Amino acid sequence: MFGGVATTVVAGQSYEILFPQRTGTLYVEFDVTFDLRTEGFLGIARGPDWDVSECAAAVRFSGDGGVEFSGSRPFLPETRISYLAGIAQRFRFVLRIPEGRYDVYARSGSDPPRAVGVNLPFRTRPLSLRNIAAKGLDRLVFRVSSGAVRVNDVAVARYPESGVQSVWAVNDGEKIERDDLNHPCKASNSAWDGKKVRLFGARNEIIAFQLIVEAGSAGIDELSVALDEIVPRAGGSIILYKAPSSDPTDYRSRPIQLFSENYMHVAKPTTAGWIYRANSPSAPQDPLGWKPVQLVPENARQGRGGFPLHVEPRCNQAIWVDVYLGRDLAAGVYDGTINVAANDWPIEISLELEVLDFTLPDENSIDAMVYYESDQPERYQGRNLDPQYHRFAHRQRIELVNAYNTTSAAAAAGRFSGDDFTPARGYEGPGEGIGNRIVPASFYGPGSGWDERSIAWARSDDWMLFLEKYIPRALTFLYMPDEPGPAEYAGIWKIADNIHSNPGPGRRLPIFVTHSYTPGLDGAIDIWCSPPSGFNIARVLEERARGRKYWIYNGGRPAAPAIVIDSPATDPRATIWACFKHEIDVYFYWHSVHWRHNSQMKQGDRNQNVWGNPVTYDNGESAANGDGVLIYPGEEILHPDQDRGIPGPCSTIQLANFRRGLQDHQYLSLARKLGLEGEVQQAIQAVAPRLFSEASVTVGFAETGNAFEEVRYQLGRAIAAAGE
């Protein structure tokens, strides 16, 4: 450390403060107090024959009370800050000499420091730049043409090697791997213009972005990120941060939520051929590596995703930020500042948000049902957490489902009335006060008794009368044997005949099967739920014309996206676009919490270490990364070293992109209702032109967040304009 200098430089003087020659990365920090109408220049150079034009970093101050910093040759108006005569300004320069770039921070009086310029190039010519890179910098220089400048408390030191190499942002539709330091979105993307985070959304929408912090050669010991408020330029309600509760699903007054992204190493691609075939033209292009998977609340255990974070050298650490845009927000532009603290060094990133002038409905425009077993959290977290998991799912616009009977449905009355999703029970956000509506009579099979006609009639009558009285919005069905083969068709026919022959209200209980249309069950099935590969568009239209429903479940390339860790982030989003395009009312995903493996596992411990191993499905012949796990346990009593200390669920990038797709579905539905069919078709053609039976050997849907965000913005602007 070099410091302690204090001097005053007056008009007509040049002055140098020498310090020991430095190479590598260093900081130069000092206080400057300007007189009224001071004009001049200060810089950091290599001497003794320095020139203003050859300073690595340079500052110009003018008599009108402004200070500007230079990047390359010109001074940059966007870096301009104001000064007051007699008030000390604290400048801190962080100079990365081998790269020829620097960051500059300024603090006035007791105000917190803020980033004025980030990643600015040195001013020096190429020849001088090479000289500086080899020999370093050795002086702080001043030249004053009018007025006077007082300089004191100069400090020069090697910048901590555990510092930040770069900070940038990306939309919610990318998976930036831990060691990917040259991602094409780093320069710019839909959420990042190279300097500022740029977001947009409608009222009653959750938008998200990722802040990527890249560590230098020695890593970062402590990294934290904060976003305290987002303020409307024209006045009105502020989007205000509130620290998280110990319950991660207490959303009251918490429109801003921050999460660290947890990385998992995918060593082998998914080998389940129904999801995708590795090395085929439709397979994900980059299935291996350190993939971001879980979104861990900022208040998790230290060392397990809680702030502050440790970042390994030359690695990325992504911070996921959710922002809920409340129903009371005024349309217009909002501003915020993201505060990054790395080893106590502050970095500020500006944020700009455009709130579009329309509101997403609380009611979903498509139903997304995801299977859930209460005993999975009970096993891994030690107690029943159904209220927390259902609140969490509601926030994502999905429904966690299992079989109900009249007793269990009555016990969950608040879930279906909407009372469970009110501030009184810890919920704020999309769908506030709106109840779930998917109430299956059975799941993964019909159960016993339905093959006896008298029992089937009585049971179906009781069930349908109960729903009509207590849950009139209910969507229900009787689930046949899962993915049945021909040997099971006779049993399905018997149950279907029993239901369809019922003269009472039970006749209205639909028969549901996870199978594409097959002549062997024609007439027995009311709801076909097909894998994407079996979704024949022409046949679907025929079945609908006959009064039958046709849904899809799961995924599988190339007919549709793949819902696994090793596929692009936007695959779940594209799945919901496919549903909109082909008018699919309900999307079904086979499991949300497949932590304890089902009976298909042939060897090994069925109690999977889902935080420690990306493979979550393995039947001995086929394996899949993250299959059936959209949610991870916030606590872990079976594998204590993986315990995050969060008494509830942890989300994933996959589930966040389902949420994004479900909100996109609302954009598309609103646009269609407003008569914007041309805009709707243009958007679909841009990101989902060929799916299901129209697919070829390659995928027919977009695979980047930028592609989807571009059409979402176009749709949003069109909806807002039509609403005017």
Query: What domains can be seen in the chain, in order of their start residue?
Result: 2-158 (2.60.120.560), 164-359 (2.60.40.10), 367-597+630-659 (3.20.20)
Rounded to an integer, what is the distance from CA 38 to the centroid of its chain? Answer: 47
* Mean pLDDT for the stretch of residues 152-163: 69
The whole-number pLDDT of residue 126 equals 67
Q: What is the pLDDT of residue 723?
A: 82
Above 80 in pLDDT, residue 383? yes
Claim: this prediction has a pTM higher than 0.95 = no
Bridging pattern class, strands 316-325 and 205-215:
antiparallel
Q: Which of 324, 331, 474 is closest to 412 using CA atoms?
A: 474
Average model confidence (pLDDT) across the chain: 93
| Both tokens assigned to 554 | 């799961």
Strands (DSSP E) found in 360-492: 367-371, 399-401, 478-479
Token pair recorded at residue 211: 């802040």
Answer whether residue 445 shows pLDDT above 80: yes
Q: Report the relative pairing of strands 586-589 and 367-371 from DSSP bridges.
A: parallel
Under the banding of pLDDT at 50, 70 and 90, the label for residue 711 is very high
Instruction: Kindly state the average pLDDT of the residues 689-713.
Output: 98
> For residue 110, what pLDDT is reported?
67
Instruction: Report in angstroms the alpha-carbon separations of 379 from 133, 376, 469, 600.
Output: 58, 5, 35, 19
pLDDT at 67: 76
Q: Residue 156 — pLDDT band, cuts 50, 70, 90?
A: confident
pLDDT band at 1 (very low <50, low <70, confident <90, very high): very low
Q: Are 426 and 391 in contact (CB under 8 A)?
A: yes
Of residues 126, 62, 632, the one with CA closest to residue 385: 632
Mean pLDDT of 641-662: 99
Query: Mind listing the pLDDT tens digit for each residue in 308-359?
Result: 999 999 999 999 999 999 999 999 999 999 999 988 777 889 999 999 999 9
- Predicted local confidence at residue 550, as pLDDT: 99
Residue 300 has pLDDT above 70, yes or no: yes
- Integer Rg of the chain from CA: 30
The residue type found at 144 is V
The two structure tokens encoding residue 258: 């921050």
Q: Is the pLDDT of residue 112 over 70?
A: no
Which is higher by pLDDT, 578 or 146? 578
What pLDDT is recorded for position 162?
Answer: 42
Predicted confidence (pLDDT) per residue in 366-382, tens digit: 999 999 999 999 999 99
Reply yes or no on whether the pLDDT at 161 is more than 50.
no
Give the per-residue pLDDT at 576: 99
**pLDDT number for residue 160:** 54
